[in-house]
Structure 1
Amino acid sequence: MNGAAVPRTQAWDTYSKQKPERRPVNAAGETTWFNWTQYPDHGPGAEVLGVSPGAAVLDLGCGNLAHLTTLGAHAVGVDVSLAQIKAAGARWSDMGMTLHRTEATRFLEETGASFDSVFSVFGAVWFTDPALLLPAIRRRLRPGGVLAFSQRPPIEGRYGCQASYINRSEDEDPR
């Protein structure tokens, strides 16, 4: 897969189906929360983003938006996977999030919006060519804004889309 190629949604739709169902509450009994890792109730929270009421935040994925709306943020999510978009929309339909099904760099190039925080939790920063993605983020990030991301460790011996290790049938292209 070359740096300019857009990843196919098939791997991300497959990933969505493999993820365990989100728990209804976290260890503190909260119905919305922010996770940076694959481990429940582990790691820092949304404070990393410096979100305040009225802040514009962009999730290059769509897994942590609901919590940011409870903090008063205008939350926008971008994901290539229709399955991910549908899951977020179904679970959090009353939260006032804005969801877009498109590739992250395409969204960043086409939107006129600017953001106080841009983040990615196992999202586009994990699998998109940084030479394309990072300048696009910089153009949309307000002065003093925050870019934060987390991703799983790379898989030894693999180059490119790290999601290529997602379980799939032998005839499915991992990209």
Structure 2
Amino acid sequence: MELVDAWERYARGRARRREANATGARTWLNWTQYPDHGPDESILGDLQNRTVLELGSGTGCNLAHLSTLGATCTGVDIAPSQRGKAVARWGHLPGLAFHTAEVTEYLTRTAGSFDVVLSIFGPVWFSDPELLLPLIRTRLSPGGVLVFSHEPPEPGIPAVGTLRTARAVTRWDYGPQEWSACLTAAGFRGISAETVAPPEGKDTGTLLVMAYAGG
């Protein structure tokens, strides 16, 4: 309950995403913490008729965009208020479903499989990888891909630590080598990790990791 409360407080303090981005698009996906910056969904390839699961789906804006590209999308978020916001804003779009659950519990009980699993500054950053990554692997279709992003680790900061702003939340601040080792141990292959440079005037980039399920 403490963990749920921490994320619910965070969710309540989040501003609503803009109605349109810099190009005027009504839906879009962004892997970084900066608006209109970095790669888009094209790194996932053709999404038509693919099944997508987002861990930490928030108000559903990323999945709404992917659904417009023909994907069947499922979102999971631990904060109870997020599902209501997602349905209110995006419930008119086809191929979208949202659930309130802790991600390891959801992955344990669901019988579904997915072609793509996403975590954008989400639960892959905030869950024990020895527990979470094997669960994700079991839910990926053969050849399916896991893609996640978060801030790169800060030099001199412990790789695992409790956030000061939400003391119930632990963050795994791993870099490319640590993530590669964890993903390999969990049965992933074709692992890549890169730091997306920040926009001009910003100091912190974004670590972007991709890994494929064997099969």
Task: Using structure 1 for the length normalisation, give the TM-score.
Answer: 0.84
3-state SS in 2 of match to 1:8: helix
Q: How far apart are residue 7 of structure 1 and its match?
A: 6.9
Match of 1:44 among 39, 54, 65: 39
CA distance in structure 2 between the aligned counterparts of 1:152 and 1:82, rounded to whole angstroms: 25
CA distance in structure 2 between the aligned counterparts of 1:8 and 1:76, rounded to whole angstroms: 22
2:118 match: 119
CA distance in structure 2 between the aligned counterparts of 1:116 and 1:125, rounded to whole angstroms: 17
Matched, 1:27 2:27: no
Matched, 1:106 2:105: yes
3-state SS in 1 of match to 2:15: coil
1:147 match: 146
CA distance in structure 1 between the aligned counterparts of 2:47 and 2:159, rounded to whole angstroms: 39
Task: Using structure 2 for the length normalisation, give the TM-score.
Answer: 0.70
8 Å contact from structure 1 (residues 105, 136) kept in 2: yes
Q: How far apart are residue 84 of structure 1 and its match?
A: 2.0
8 Å contact from structure 1 (residues 50, 146) kept in 2: no
- Structure (1 or 2) with the larger CA radius of gyration: 2
Superposed CA RMSD in Å reads 2.0
3-state SS in 2 of match to 1:85: helix
Give CA-to-partner distance per residue, 1:85-140, whole Å, 9 cap, x none.
22222211112311111111111111111111001011110101000110001111
Q: How far apart are residue 48 of structure 1 and its match?
A: 2.0
The structure where strand makes up a greater share of residues is 2
Aligned partner of 1:60: which letter? Answer: L
1:83 match: 81
CA distance in structure 2 between the aligned counterparts of 1:145 and 1:158, rounded to whole angstroms: 28
Give CA-to-partner distance per residue, 1:26-63, whole Å, 9 cap, x none.
11111000011111011111122224211000000114
**How high is the sequence identity, in percent, across the aligned residues?**
48
Q: Which stretches in structure 2 are left out of the alignment for 5+ residues?
A: 170-215
Q: How far apart are residue 157 of structure 1 and its match?
A: 4.9
1:3 match: none
3-state SS in 1 of match to 2:160: coil
Aligned partner of 1:143: which letter? Answer: P
8 Å contact from structure 2 (residues 2, 168) kept in 1: no
2:67 match: 69
What count of residue pairs does the alignment treat as equivalent? 163
Q: Which stretches in structure 1 are left out of the alignment for 5+ residues?
A: 1-5
3-state SS in 2 of match to 1:53: coil
1:174 match: 168
8 Å contact from structure 2 (residues 76, 99) kept in 1: yes
Q: How far apart are residue 146 of structure 1 and its match?
A: 0.9
CA distance in structure 1 between the aligned counterparts of 2:144 and 2:160, rounded to whole angstroms: 30
8 Å contact from structure 1 (residues 127, 160) kept in 2: no
